[in-house]
Amino acid sequence: MTSHLPAAQRSRRPPAQGAPAPLPTDILLVEDSPLDVELTLRPLQELDPASRIEVARDGEEALDFLLGRGAFRHRLGAPLPRLVLLDLKLPKLDGIEVLRGVRGNSRTCMIPVVVLTSSNDPRQLAQCYQLGANSCVQKPVRYDEFWSAIQTLGRYWLSFNESPPSAAAPVS
């Protein structure tokens, strides 16, 4: 897990017992390609330098972060990210399995998940929506188009969208 927080807010080690809870994360970027991580972070950080962005490099790490498991036990009960940007081609667990895990958990089922993919396979797109993706975006090839697309996503999901409650409450 890589943290992309201002230095004063960064803490990669679990807090000691009795320490304050982890700071809320605005975005969890789930991406294994270091180049795509950098290409995605730059427009988001330009949009809002104070955004707290965490990066998971594989599907298993993403679910551990969101569900407070393994190395992220200290996050159990911590505020959930306001947005998950999810690549589909990931090591350990692919993006489809991550999406299935997020939507199958009562605590994480309402987190907005935007799938970022280089694929234009209509079956994969349909599967993402059937599993509850909020949006699917094909990664533009041209850098300026990619920059614009990522800033538009960040602006919409973090500025205009009303986030769901922090923990999914049953609807009567």
Rounded Cα distance between 172 and 161, Å, is 23
- pTM for the full predicted model: 0.83
Q: How confident is the model at residue 12 (pLDDT cuts 50, 70, 90)?
A: very low
Rounded Cα distance between 98 and 77, Å, is 19
Phi/psi at 48 (5° precision): -150, 95
Identify the pLDDT of residue 9: 36
Identify the pLDDT of residue 7: 31
Tens-place pLDDT, residues 31-75 = 999 999 999 999 999 988 888 999 999 999 999 999 999 999 998
Q: How confident is the model at residue 21 (pLDDT cuts 50, 70, 90)?
A: low
Average pLDDT (7-15) is: 38
Q: Give the pairing of strands 135-138 and 2-4.
A: unpaired
- pLDDT over threshold 80, residue 147: yes
CATH class, domain 23-160, is alpha beta
Structure tokens at 5: 């927080």
If you average pLDDT over every residue of the chain, what do you get? 84
Identify the pLDDT of residue 76: 87
Domain boundaries of the chain, sorted by first residue: 23-160
- pLDDT over threshold 80, residue 118: yes
